Structure 1
């Protein structure tokens, strides 16, 4: 790199009359072209533009070559090797980074070898925006903030999408759509359904509220005569979510309803039926009046419309009875979550502008970002462990000066990402305009993105949060859950809030405030009042300059991000300090440690795996982690008891302490906090009720609980034991001549495969799959129909039918002969099992354990497994006896987004 040349070009570009040189600078930087020129250009300012033009001409061949040069892609094996080395042997982190965040195209080709490549891509994009404004940060400065995930981490969509020109996607993590207006009609309901799908296909998580839909039995002026109520539309939105894949993932959806709505109880019960509303999280918006009615025993009034002065329907209910229903369902299935809506709106800074379109309506799928209709948010996290100097020693200290500096940088980078998102939205609109569909079909999608673009630039909302709270406290010698630890955490979050709001005021002075800023509107807001009391100078600066962003702070779950940072997640404590893994060994090898021999005679070694920062503690305190991994349980526990992680895991923390900590931190977070309180299996419903009530009293904006084992998904009767198997004759439902079908595409090694899954009542009924070159479908075909044609005395023939882009039906004959005959025979066997109703987890396990000598059949089998797993509801347990291949626990494996995930150690595997 010729840094001096670029410094000169930057100097020229900063001068308004030198825009041509600045354009060239940007062009060359985007192409990563460093022209060969003298190290220093000694010219007067008025001569520099001409010199730059000469350099453009001189280096045109280089620019053209950069344009023509194809990017280099890497194999999964190459990336996994280098990324594992980058993460110091942590294969889980390497896999998560490769699969979720490395630069890839729509064909699955990956163009980055390690996170260093990714961080350079992100830094280049942010620096490009920085150069549009005064006092820009350099690419190298930004890269150092991102490098090694040590300080600042763009989360999810920004990390995957910034600088990715292969895919047309949004950088926003979350959206809310809908509104309190005229959405109580089939037209309005279908409009939201379409908008939800359009957002999910661009990688966004979506939330919307259902309180506008009229309750069950309400009169309607159509042939139906009365309304069907909330639940059928919950199922519709849930099914739409499950139909959309985002780079191999399903979409994420939050559905909310006000407790004041007469259908609230039906909403709460909707997910109790196995297999229903499996594509959505659900939460109830609870107001203070309802909570006071629960405590006092007074009746509570529900009405529709919920905000009407003269509602069309009113009913009084027993608040305690409905509360008990919420508690029972959360105890049994971990849903619904609760949102304390009066706290949300009372504390919300954007709601100071409710009459200008910023009235909070719902939240994103994890609940950490309450949003108004058509607003969106992008997430970024500061790694708190990175600011601990001399961790795990008596000299450990938190570097508040560096943290303050980086907090301001995080705000500045987030504001740059808003500009990058605006560019992405323009690209999406361009894609919509260029699509061949009829203008009427594209109208809703285009209008939605125009609305989102307007809200994005009108409020410039950001989502700055943290991760590694648990590790930060441990590194400072503080035990998570103690008063001392909570007090320190609050100080950190208070510092973050003050610095970010101050930085936004500074940025408003440089770049201008968000367009509707008005200090008079905000002066009564509780969050702004606390900020003013804590830092009068920041408040005065806001009044003087305005503020660049309407709201800025959140705490997201940071699940996969924390795997990359190799730290605890969000404000959560460490999940487990130690867990066990097993590996097969040769008993004849020297120095081998055979822990046990299984039933087929294979020898295994069992060893300990540690939380990454516990390894740091071991090394700093003179232990050899490789030796400690071999210790017996009692000896290992004796060492853990000496560490600050002792009695500080998710299972150890007293729930009252955790809820009170969340409430205390919430006072310094202008959006919300995503936290789950983990409860033991034996926890009572009364305990769940106490958790939720304490959360409301402590000032939390929302709460979710998870009781161990409450989402087992085991398909048994309520009066049967888990291990009981009842054998009875089953009768397959008759096959209609025409079945709806999903098209599933996947890659086995380097071969492209395709599956057609026939559906009956939205459940897999039959399967056809093989290599894609044997059954070509246009890449945009996602759905269709399987037709069964039977001619007397001849075997049945199965054809596939779909709609082309003009709406005409196209039929491809011979699904049954398009794939290898051997594939077809096994497909008939599996389809027969499907028709007779074997639960999908059992069928998947059965197919996975089939053994073939033929590699081609084995590959086909893997494709069938991959296709069928997509239809297993999230949270379904594999089996209470199946061990996690990573930690060895027997009750932790469950399905999530078609992948096996361990709730104990975070292990994840997709077939």
Structure 2
């Protein structure tokens, strides 16, 4: 392995050149995907190095089999993110010997048999955390937990129901996701469960279940009952012919609640469970351990317990020849060839994942803990390894469908665009399965393949009708992979390939940027002056795909366009009426249903709606999704996550969102002792530390700077909290000490905390502590800090550290108002554990 290291600036500058000046793409790549060790040393200078790393490793696996792809062939497929784009976990982990992590993006867990005991619930909790610490998103189902009020054989006498365990699993996710580590959770429950209504309401109370996405598994019987105003039976156990508990409910009333809550707070999502099971090819092997029980956090991979999936996206825009011109066309021949290669690469990644799991098992064996402690983690990965190799499940998907439409002159949401899209996804399905059959002939089928079991599966029958020879070959040779396809939110990888994520509409092709200007400069054009008296100018930036269209059609790209000219230009382009605010939402749902017929897993799509849409429309969209054959659906109404605090009481429902924020108590005289959090992080390549004094759980003061042991900051790694104590010297001078308990329970005091850092830091810290003490909202404090215009590079680095430390205290789901997602272009960014996350496409950014 190459041992040469690069500074952040070296890697950033080289990547900036690679991305042709796109600062955000360069920063995202260096921060998230460049090969680095746990000390932050960077071993790759640009994505070109990364793509050679991927090509080398996959070529190594290819050599085990017939007709291997060469390293150069693979590199050409990856280079510039042009054709085939392995997603986050594979891109980060393949060929990475510095970190021990899985290549799987997502997992589902769940115990066999009766799993209603506290032991089973805690076992699932531990397994969830063990997977998240390896970078995995996790999903699991709660339908096995007995309903509220039912008898239990312990001192409680009756069960508490689902909701307390939702909070348990949510809190575990938040714990493991601290400091920007990945942790994403999906909790599901069947609509049959008597506590499903409590599950549906659980996230409406502010601060509850903030670490999980929730979706309700709805069967066809319930949907028909809701549509026709009929009664519906709920029972526990949910699939029992002789349940221990049952009740009859008004299906329409519960349906209206699902719709209302989704309209109010964007959750729950709905999973049309009968459609999922009916269409699922792996469920042909349900009795052999492949019964689907839940989905991953974004909902695009329904999985059985202990199966996992790695993701890869094919960039559809790159197959448009002569983009934006009258003679533009889609190269189906090259596309079909590359789909087959993508499926082959995905199968190679399964072998690489098997190697990673072996390394994880070796690491567990070498850990100093006792066998009793290590047993759960080892057994977990042994189950995952078995399921991974038994089914060899893959997740080949797409990105840039919106850009493909525009480049071909098709308008998103029209019948002609939907017809074309269906043809593209049909081509993917036929060629991915053809590749899997060829690999079965060359490498062997997945071990439990059985044509007879699959003969009545609707998806397989569609393949048979479209390509009878493919089906005959599959019956003869088998198939290498139990399931192959998905459409996942491609997140930050779309940003780096500069495409529109998944099957989403395109984002607005022109946008405004702002820059601060000197008002005394007579050449400056001043658009507005902000509340701080700073002068700003706004200027238009064209998205690079829009520039391609302009160049193809003879429009100057350097001209300064007036607003009227700009509107005219956009109206002439293929992007006109094709953004998320323009599309017909019902047509989008129908398009998803038609595409779904050719995707054996599922499709992750969020329907983004303006704030003024009615609940009736949300209900209509959900109902249309079921009728159209979608496997799931989620809606997001603009502003629906702001200040969520809803009671079932009619009176509380009438409260304004602004009433949901309670101003903190103002305490101007600092208490002698304050509880404190210790936050350690890296700022550029330097190790930093922040001490945050808390009053009633809210930041009250901050001390931060470089974590220098020479200055006496000797804080053990395991110390994350303590007290900041105001003390006085003999001569009456005030100082602040930090006190914590060591492992043996002894108190350790670090005196003079305020003198440990650069004096200039301390002066700025006093300013920030002042606004915190007087109750300024945390998001506004962060905005104030980020707006400080400081001369010194060092003090600007300190400023970034303060921002990063304070973001931890933003309430989850706080909207980042005025900020658009750099990937999908929607104003749907919220804070989760201090990181920005897009509720639309799943893109995230920490630090």
Match of 1:876 among 801, 806, 814: 814
Task: Specify the alignment match of 2:622 in structure 1.
Answer: 692
Match of 2:682 among 736, 747, 754: 747
C-alpha offsets along residues 177-205 of structure 1, whole Å, 9 cap, x if unaligned? 11352321111111111111111111111
Say yes or no: does 1:369 pair with 2:307. Answer: no
Q: CA deviation at 1:96?
A: 1.8
Q: CA deviation at 1:564?
A: 1.2
CA shift in 2, pair 1:833/1:280, >3 Å: farther
C-alpha offsets along residues 154-195 of structure 1, whole Å, 9 cap, x if unaligned? 011001111111111110000001135232111111111111
Say yes or no: does 1:429 pair with 2:361. Answer: yes
TM alignment of 1:235-246, pairs within 5 A: 235-245=167-177
Task: Specify the alignment match of 2:101 in structure 1.
Answer: 169
- For 2:481, what is the secondary structure of its paired residue? coil
Task: Specify the alignment match of 1:49 in structure 2.
Answer: none
CA shift in 2, pair 1:725/1:787, >3 Å: closer
1:574 and 1:648 in contact (8 A); partners too: yes
CA shift in 2, pair 1:847/1:276, >3 Å: farther
Say yes or no: does 1:648 pair with 2:583. Answer: no
Q: CA deviation at 1:862?
A: 3.7
CA shift in 2, pair 1:247/1:508, >3 Å: farther
Counterpart Cα distance in 1 of 2:695 and 2:195: 29
Match of 1:519 among 451, 473, 482: 451
- For 2:140, what is the secondary structure of its paired residue? strand
Q: CA deviation at 1:611?
A: 2.8
CA shift in 2, pair 1:694/1:782, >3 Å: farther
C-alpha offsets along residues 682-729 of structure 1, whole Å, 9 cap, x if unaligned? 100000000000000000000011111112248899634759999796
Task: Specify the alignment match of 2:649 in structure 1.
Answer: none
Counterpart Cα distance in 2 of 1:213 and 1:400: 49
CA shift in 2, pair 1:188/1:725, >3 Å: closer
Calculate the aligned-residue CA RMSD, in Å.
Answer: 3.4
1:580 and 1:886 in contact (8 A); partners too: no
Q: CA deviation at 1:897?
A: 4.7
TM alignment of 1:24-173, pairs within 5 A: 71-173=3-105
CA shift in 2, pair 1:314/1:783, >3 Å: farther
Match of 1:542 among 455, 465, 474: 474
Q: CA deviation at 1:597?
A: 4.9
- For 1:584, what is the secondary structure of its paired residue? strand
CA shift in 2, pair 1:715/1:177, >3 Å: closer
Task: Specify the alignment match of 1:895 in structure 2.
Answer: 831
Q: CA deviation at 1:766?
A: 7.0
2:737 and 2:751 in contact (8 A); partners too: yes
Say yes or no: does 1:801 pair with 2:773. Answer: no
CA shift in 2, pair 1:228/1:601, >3 Å: closer
Counterpart Cα distance in 2 of 1:797 and 1:240: 31
2:207 and 2:812 in contact (8 A); partners too: no
Say yes or no: does 1:490 pair with 2:428. Answer: no
1:146 and 1:153 in contact (8 A); partners too: yes
Match of 2:612 among 679, 682, 687: 682
Per mean C-alpha deviation after superposition, the further-off stretch among 255-264 and 786-795 is 786-795
Per mean C-alpha deviation after superposition, the further-off stretch among 694-703 and 268-277 is 268-277
- For 1:625, what is the secondary structure of its paired residue? coil
Match of 1:529 among 461, 464, 472: 461
- For 2:270, what is the secondary structure of its paired residue? strand
1:733 and 1:835 in contact (8 A); partners too: no
Say yes or no: does 1:814 pair with 2:750. Answer: yes
Match of 1:663 among 593, 605, 608: 593
C-alpha offsets along residues 579-620 of structure 1, whole Å, 9 cap, x if unaligned? 111123456779754444556665433211233311211111
Say yes or no: does 1:866 pair with 2:796. Answer: no
Counterpart Cα distance in 1 of 2:497 and 2:381: 33
Say yes or no: does 1:773 pair with 2:708. Answer: yes
Q: CA deviation at 1:120?
A: 0.5
Counterpart Cα distance in 1 of 2:153 and 2:662: 49
CA shift in 2, pair 1:826/1:581, >3 Å: closer
Counterpart Cα distance in 2 of 1:677 and 1:242: 26
Match of 2:283 among 342, 351, 376: 351
Q: Which structure 2 segments of 5+ residues have no match?
A: 647-651
Q: Which structure 1 segments of 5+ residues have no match?
A: 1-30, 32-69
CA shift in 2, pair 1:704/1:163, >3 Å: same
Per mean C-alpha deviation after superposition, the further-off stretch among 407-416 and 863-872 is 863-872
2:527 and 2:538 in contact (8 A); partners too: yes
Q: CA deviation at 1:840?
A: 3.2
- For 1:187, what is the secondary structure of its paired residue? helix
CA shift in 2, pair 1:194/1:909, >3 Å: closer
Q: CA deviation at 1:297?
A: 0.8
- For 2:204, what is the secondary structure of its paired residue? coil
Q: CA deviation at 1:776?
A: 3.4
TM alignment of 1:330-349, pairs within 5 A: 330-349=262-281
- For 1:436, what is the secondary structure of its paired residue? coil
CA shift in 2, pair 1:826/1:321, >3 Å: farther
Counterpart Cα distance in 2 of 1:184 and 1:767: 45
Q: CA deviation at 1:838?
A: 5.9
Counterpart Cα distance in 1 of 2:517 and 2:279: 58
TM alignment of 1:296-695, pairs within 5 A: 296-586=228-518, 593-598=525-530, 602-627=534-559, 630-695=560-625
Q: CA deviation at 1:786?
A: 4.7
Counterpart Cα distance in 1 of 2:481 and 2:421: 25
Counterpart Cα distance in 1 of 2:191 and 2:844: 36
C-alpha offsets along residues 371-392 of structure 1, whole Å, 9 cap, x if unaligned? 0000000000110111111111
Counterpart Cα distance in 2 of 1:515 and 1:297: 46
Counterpart Cα distance in 1 of 2:340 and 2:88: 21
Q: CA deviation at 1:237?
A: 0.9
Kindly indicate whether structure 1 or structure 2 has the higher relative contact order, using CA contacts under 8 Å at least 6 residues apart. 2
1:241 and 1:250 in contact (8 A); partners too: no
2:307 and 2:388 in contact (8 A); partners too: yes
CA shift in 2, pair 1:509/1:725, >3 Å: closer
Counterpart Cα distance in 2 of 1:366 and 1:271: 17
CA shift in 2, pair 1:153/1:848, >3 Å: closer
C-alpha offsets along residues 404-446 of structure 1, whole Å, 9 cap, x if unaligned? 1111100110000000000000111111111111111111011
What is the TM-score when the length of structure 2 is the normalising length? 0.91
Counterpart Cα distance in 2 of 1:727 and 1:326: 31
Counterpart Cα distance in 2 of 1:289 and 1:164: 48
CA shift in 2, pair 1:297/1:721, >3 Å: closer
Residues paired across the two proteins, number: 832
